[in-house]
Amino acid sequence: MVALGEVLIFLASAVIMVPLARRFGLGAVLGYLAAGVLIGPWVLGLIDDVETILHFSELGIVLLLFVIGLELRPSRLSVLRRLIFVNGSLQLSLSTVLFWPLAAWWLESVHLGLLVAIVLSLSSTAIGLQMLAEKKQLTAPYGRAAFGILLLQDIAVIPLLALIPLFAPAGDIAQEPANLFVQFLQTAAVIAAIIVGGHFLLRPVFRIIVGSGVREVFLAAVLLVALGTALLAEWAGLSMALGAFLAGVLLSESEFRHELEAGVEPFKGLLLGLFFIAVGMSIDFGRLIAEPWLIVGIVMVMMVLKFVVLLAVGRYSGLDSRSSVSLAFALPQAGEFGFVLFTVALNEGVLQAGVVDQLVAAISVSMALTPLMFFINERWIQPRIAPGGGDGRQLEDIPDDHGEPRVIIAGLGRVGQIVARNMSMLDIHFTALDYDQEQVDFVRKFGHRVFYGNATNLDVLRAADADHATLFVLTISDIDVSIQTAQMVRRHFPELRIHARARNRMHALELKALGVDYVIREAWLSSLDLARESLSAVGVRRASRYVDMFREHDERTLEDQVAHKDDEAELVEIDRRSREQLAELFEEDRRILHAEDGEE
């Protein structure tokens, strides 16, 4: 009952604070942080066990990196290698060099100052990436640069965890090289296992699961892969987030990519929200009140120096002035890995409890300030910066998955395949979705980009990037599913143009009533061609003229019937009037034809 009560407290605080923060343009992350402060031990005191909640909610970061991995194909990740290893290393090394003398002076120790400098140089993956995703800036030039820096920092956590004991005054350094070698072998073995297993086992396993037809089992398998890989990586001394990221990258080329992302999305959102609430709860206001100048000083010095370093790195990487400033405003905070690293340092006897408390308080405050930094940048800084000033030498070669025009094809049966083949011939980017695994396997053999996914699922549509698409081609043969998909697309993506295939006249009426831009009945054109040839075969002159008249008149009638699709009597009446009008048109045309023959 206590656990359920805590869940209700978390939900209530989020429901109240997040909409308020969004209402004032501050973003959802700041709303979660404020909710954590509100229910935490220093305000209402409704929740006490902050550490357990913070540890559990870190699974949100794991799922976030898994989703990001799904969006980065290995070929694209290789192009980002300079952003990761050059820019990331540059930011980490420059920040460390600037922090080191200050931290050594504060702690009166050169080697402890180096450790603190390195850890404070790390930024928050959870807050940075979530804010960029919320602002839809992950694919912007500065968003890519930020991702590269954060990924390098996640990789850097691995050797940092292993090296922390070396900073201990009484550490047995003689044994450390052997321990490090064992750790290296263990890490290499796990990475190899993840890569080999992901490449050869995961896709066949998912095919079997999909064949069972039980969606809940598919969702369970998604979570098993993401969390299982994360735990395996943690056992090897890697960060859980990096392990999940590798699993996502390995599955990014599979036909299940969009369905995997849709399955993880709800869990990721809830756990990330819980993580931000836990960060808000962990802010030690007692320490802040007792030592305000020290905590504020650490935060200010750290954020200002990192801002300068990020600005320089942005300019070096070819970003223009606006993008460089946005990068500097995105990552000046300390990161959640600081909680882990400083706790390990405390347990190893490297740092004293008082110092760790001060540093953890500074990290929490800096993370809480990040949404405000985004807000200040968007509202006041960016409008005052003149565009231009970058050469783009590192960013211009990064392939963008969203080439124009962007097309989504839902349903890869006979009709959908013809549309897809024509798109492919003209090298037009499209993403195709189908919920039949056998159909997906068959079409992928011909080189088409088709993914397993349910087009009636909003998360799948978003994973397929419907927010940025130009055209949605709906060729699903099942009438009910087709209508549900059209409703979903029109409700959530009102600017997206929809072209649809209809099975029959009533299906066409339903689609037109939903606002579908272009509807074609599947047998309509072939039936008209058959009628044209049949009329010609029995001696009707100008058969094409009559067929064209019939086509135009029938399409006008269909438009008239849309408003009365649920009134059977009115539909019958419209059809009767239409047939009478068409008969009159044909009769008038025959009279004109006879008159022309008489004149001849």
pLDDT band for position 296 (cuts 50, 70, 90): very high
**Which residue is associated with the tokens 């049966």?**
413
Check residues 413 and 118 and name the one with the higher pLDDT.
Answer: 118
Burial class, 464, CB count within 10 angstroms (exposed 0-12 / middle 13-18 / buried 19+): buried
Helices (H), 381-517: 414-425, 437-444, 458-463, 479-492, 505-513
The CATH architecture that domain 402-522 belongs to is 3-Layer(aba) Sandwich (3.40)
pLDDT band for position 592 (cuts 50, 70, 90): low
In tens, the pLDDT along 175-212 reads: 455 565 666 677 778 778 877 877 778 778 887 887 77
Check residues 570 and 245 and name the one with the higher pLDDT.
Answer: 245
- CA-nearest of 259, 269, 274, 272 to 219 is 259
Retrieve residue 520's tokens. 């074609």
Residue 598 has pLDDT above 70, yes or no: no
Q: Coil, helix or strand for 374?
A: helix
The 3-state secondary structure of 139-203 reads CCHHHHHHHHHHHHHHHHHHHHHHHHHHHCCCCCHHHHHHHHHHHHHHHHHHHHHHHHHHHHCHH
Whether the CB-CB separation of 243 and 69 falls below 8 Å is answered with no
- Give the rounded distance of the alpha carbon of 517 from its chain centre: 28
Q: What are the residue ranges spanned by the domains of the chain? A: 58-384, 402-522, 529-600
User: In this predicted structure, what is the pLDDT of residue 557?
Assistant: 78
User: In this predicted structure, what is the pLDDT of residue 472?
Assistant: 95
Whether the CB-CB separation of 241 and 226 falls below 8 Å is answered with no
Helices (H), 317-465: 321-330, 337-347, 353-376, 414-425, 437-444, 458-463
User: In this predicted structure, what is the pLDDT of residue 402?
Assistant: 46
Pairing outcome for strands 497-502 and 518-521? parallel
pLDDT band for position 28 (cuts 50, 70, 90): confident
User: In this predicted structure, what is the pLDDT of residue 70?
Assistant: 79
pLDDT band for position 440 (cuts 50, 70, 90): confident
Whether the CB-CB separation of 73 and 449 falls below 8 Å is answered with no
Q: What is the CATH number of domain 58-384?
A: 1.20.1530.20
pLDDT band for position 398 (cuts 50, 70, 90): very low
- CA-nearest of 304, 311, 291, 400 to 355 is 291
The 3-state secondary structure of 24-65 reads CCCCHHHHHHHHHHHHCCCCCCCCCCHHHHHHHHCHHHHHHH
Residue 174 has pLDDT above 60, yes or no: no
Q: Coil, helix or strand for 499?
A: strand
In tens, the pLDDT along 512-545 reads: 888 899 999 888 888 888 888 888 888 887 788 8
**How far apart (Å, rounded) are the C-alpha atoms in residues 69 and 261?**
10
**How far apart (Å, rounded) are the C-alpha atoms in residues 355 and 346?**
9
pLDDT band for position 473 (cuts 50, 70, 90): very high
pLDDT band for position 287 (cuts 50, 70, 90): confident
The amino acid occupying position 160 is L
Residue 171 has pLDDT above 60, yes or no: no
pLDDT band for position 594 (cuts 50, 70, 90): low
Whether 58-384 and 402-522 share one fold: the answer is no
Count of Cβ atoms closer than 10 Å to residue 586 Cβ: 14
CA distances from 220 to 144, 228, 230, 443 (A): 31, 11, 15, 27
In tens, the pLDDT along 577-588 reads: 767 766 666 666
- CA-nearest of 170, 168, 163 to 184 is 163
Backbone phi and psi for residue 407, each to the nearest 5 degrees, phi listed first: -130, 140
**DSSP designation for 436:** -
